[in-house]
Structure 1
Amino acid sequence: MTSETELRDPELARPETERETETDFDEDDRLRPDFVRAVLDAVEAGDFEEARARVESLHPADIADLIELTPAEDRAALASAIADRIDGDVLAEMNDWVRDALVDALEPRQIADIAAELDTDDAVAIIEDLDADDQREVLRALDPDDRAAIEEALSYPEESAGRLMQRELIAVPEHWTVGDVLDYLRADDQLTTDFWEVFVVDPSHRPVGTCELSWILRTPRVVSVTDVMKREQTLIPVDMDQEEVALRFQKYALISAAVVDGGGRLVGMITVDDIVHIISQEAGEDALLLSGAGDGDINEPIRDSYKARVRWLIANLVTASIPATIVYLFEGTIAQMAVLAALMPIVAGVGGNAGTQTLAVTVRALATNQLTQSNTIRAIRREIAIALLNGLSVAAAVGIAIAAAGSALPDLGGGTLPLVIAAAMLTNILIAGLAGVLVPVTLERFGQDPAVASSVFVTMVTDSMGFLAFLGLATVSGLVG
Structure 2
Amino acid sequence: MSETELPDDTTLAGDELDEDDRLKPGFVRAVLDAVEAGDAAGARALVAPLHPADIADLFELTPADERDALAAALSDLLDADVFAEMNDYVREDLIDELSATQVADIASELDTDDAVAIIEDMEPEDQREVLRALDPDDRAAIEKALSYPEESAGRLMQRELIAVPEHWTVGDTIDYLRGHDELTADFWEVFVVDGRHMPVGTCALSWILRTPRDVAVADVMKRDQTLIPVDMDQEEVALRFQKYALISAAVVDRSGRLVGMITVDDMVHIIQQEAGEDVLRLSGAGEGDINEPIALTVRSRVAWLVVNLGATIMSASVVGLFQGEIARFALLAVLMPIVSALGGNAGTQTLAVVVRALATNQLTSSNTVWMLLREFRIAVCNGTALGLVGALGSFAIFRNVELSGVFALAMIINSLVAGLVGVLVPVALDKARIDPAISSAVFVTTMTDVMGFFSFLGLATLWGLGR
In the alignment, which residue of structure 2 is the partner of 1:376? Answer: 368
Residues of 2 paired with 1:20 and 1:459: CA distance?
A: 54
TM-score of the pair, normalised by structure 1: 0.93
In the alignment, which residue of structure 2 is the partner of 1:9? Answer: none
Task: Give the counterpart of 2:94 among 96, 102, 116.
Answer: 102
Conserved 8 A contact 2:165-2:195: yes
Offset at residue 43 of structure 1 (A): 0.6
Paired residues for 1:33-432 under 5 Å? 33-407=25-399, 414-432=400-418
Offset at residue 21 of structure 1 (A): 8.1
String of CA shifts for 1:108-155, please: whole Å, max 9, x gaps.
Answer: 100000000000000000000000010000000001000000000000
Paired residues for 1:15-26 under 5 Å? 22-26=16-20
Conserved 8 A contact 2:59-2:67: yes
The amino acid of 2:71's aligned partner reads A
String of CA shifts for 1:7-66, please: whole Å, max 9, x gaps.
Answer: xxxxxxxxxxx9998444437xx5121111111111111111111111111110010111
Residues of 2 paired with 1:141 and 1:452: CA distance?
A: 40
The amino acid of 1:235's aligned partner reads L
Q: Given the superposition, is the C-alpha separation of residues 19 and 264 from structure 1 closer, same or farther in structure 2, using an over 3 Å criterion? A: farther
Secondary structure at the aligned position of 1:269 is classed as strand
Secondary structure at the aligned position of 2:259 is classed as strand
String of CA shifts for 1:211-257, please: whole Å, max 9, x gaps.
Answer: 00000011111111000000000000000000000000000000000
Secondary structure at the aligned position of 1:26 is classed as helix
TM-score of the pair, normalised by structure 2: 0.96
Secondary structure at the aligned position of 1:167 is classed as coil
Q: Percent identity, aligned pairs only?
A: 68
String of CA shifts for 1:268-308, please: whole Å, max 9, x gaps.
Answer: 00000000000000000000000001110111111110001
The amino acid of 1:356's aligned partner reads T
In the alignment, which residue of structure 1 is the partner of 2:419? Answer: 433
Secondary structure at the aligned position of 1:156 is classed as coil
The amino acid of 2:392's aligned partner reads I
| Number of residue pairs aligned between Structure 1 and Structure 2 | 456
Secondary structure at the aligned position of 1:374 is classed as coil
Superposed CA RMSD: 1.4
Residues of 1 paired with 2:19 and 2:66: CA distance?
A: 21
The amino acid of 1:466's aligned partner reads G
Offset at residue 319 of structure 1 (A): 1.6
Runs of 4+ with deviation above 4 angstroms:
18-21
Segments of structure 2 that go 5 or more residues without pairing to the other structure are 1-11
Conserved 8 A contact 1:156-1:162: yes
Q: Given the superposition, is the C-alpha separation of residues 158 and 22 from structure 1 closer, same or farther in structure 2, using an over 3 Å criterion? A: farther
Offset at residue 317 of structure 1 (A): 1.1
The amino acid of 1:26's aligned partner reads D
Residues 1:469 and 2:461 are matched in the alignment: no
Conserved 8 A contact 1:108-1:134: yes
Residues of 2 paired with 1:457 and 1:19: CA distance?
A: 57
Segments of structure 1 that go 5 or more residues without pairing to the other structure are 1-17, 408-413
